[in-house]
Amino acid sequence: MCGRTACTLASDEVSRACSYRDRGGQRRQPRWRDGDADKYRPSYNKSPQSTSPVLLSQRHFDTNAPVDECVLASMRWGLVPAWFKENDPSKMQYSTNNCRSENILEKKTYKDPLIKGQRCVILADGFYEWKRQAKDKQPFFIYFPQTKGTSQEKTDDEDDPATSAGNKENSETTGPPEEDSADLTQGEAPGEWTGWKLLTMAGLFDCWTPPGGGEPLYTYSVITVNASLNLESIHDRMPAVLDGEEEVRRWLDFGEVKSQDAMKLLQSKSSLTFHPVSSLVNNSRNNSPECLQPIDLNSKKEPKPTASSKMMMSWLASSEPSKRKEPACESKEQESEAAAQCQSTGLLHQWLHGAKKPRTK
């Protein structure tokens, strides 16, 4: 399953991180659908019913758009089917946060969007999953391995032992090569993104309009598959990950790639890495850098970073906090407590580097 994610990039960074090559070979950055960039808020701890950045074909909004044009949209997590008759989507009696790949064609809620080609890609820094233990659950943060200068292409596991099943228990204590500590953004060519490699998860979306009229609501569901070998010790399910531009392109191209062929992309993949994190993430109201901070399960000391976590720290430290938006505080009931947590995502850079106080302008 997938019940919590993080996406800390600012809206313009999300666009750059989703750059793709069109059929003419030119690299393009997807634009945000009108007004949707303002609806998106970075967060260390996104839960169902929150809004996330989603990539999809522009042809869903403009039938005359080029066949390979992509667009970014802000959609609410938890699919509300177009045929839902209630005036309030919160009255749905069942969860649609995830849909199992095996059952898509058995349930009208997911079958209808699939047949209509309403396929999308949910974007995130990574997702959280909980491993059951004797008395409690240990949360882990799971994401694409981060490799210097090749964030869009490289997924090999030789630089990060956490991606192999045999080394998964030691992922948080493995030291990275020294050369991996360089600034990820150095030497970035125009149109090329060398920062954090976003996790790209296959999903389905739908558009629901209140029966009495009103603004259409776009929502999505994350498709899940059986967990890969290196993740099955944490949980038996995982999001259907689309690994690389070609898989993303095929999933989004509902005109050329029919549903039956697109579903072949929904496979378990061992291309992800992970590290354990604090139980602070258990409460969705907690929205602070500590949610992502690696911990050592066997020691109170800060763990040695893996190659990927070190690259994460390098990238986050190098970007400019002034370009980022503040993480959204979801709970009105906890406004006073959340206000202290909802500081600039630039604090994540300082936390990961051990800073005790936020930087002041």
Say how far apart CA 300 and CA 105 lie, in whole Å: 48
Compute the average pLDDT of residues 13-18. 95
145 versus 298: the higher-pLDDT residue is 145
CA angle 182, 243, 63 (to 5 degrees): 115
DSSP secondary structure letters along 91-115:
G-SS--SEEEGGGGGG-HHHHHHHH
d(CA 182, CA 176): 12
Mean pLDDT computed over every residue of the chain = 78
pTM of the model: 0.77
Find the catalytic residue in 13, 18, 129, 329: 129
Does pLDDT of 41 surpass 60? yes
Greatest mean pLDDT among 79-93, 159-173, 309-323 lies in 79-93
- Of residues 6 and 195, the one with the higher pLDDT is 6
Please tell me the predicted confidence (pLDDT) of residue 134.
80
Domain boundaries, the chain: 5-352
80-89, 149-158, 291-300 — which one is most confidently predicted on average? Answer: 80-89
What is the rounded average pLDDT of the residues 212-231?
Answer: 94
Convert the pLDDT of each residue in 139-155 to its tens digit.
Answer: 999 999 987 654 444 33
CA distance 259 to 117: 7
Is the pLDDT reported for residue 277 higher than 80? yes
Active site residue 337: no
Q: Assess whether 2 carries a catalytic annotation.
A: yes
Residue 179 is which amino acid? Answer: E
Q: Which is the catalytic residue, given 2, 18, 291, 342? A: 2
Of the candidates 4, 240, 235, the residue with the CA atom closest to the CA atom of residue 99: 240
Q: Which CATH architecture has domain 5-352?
A: Alpha-Beta Complex (3.90)
Please give the structure tokens belonging to residue 13: 């960074």
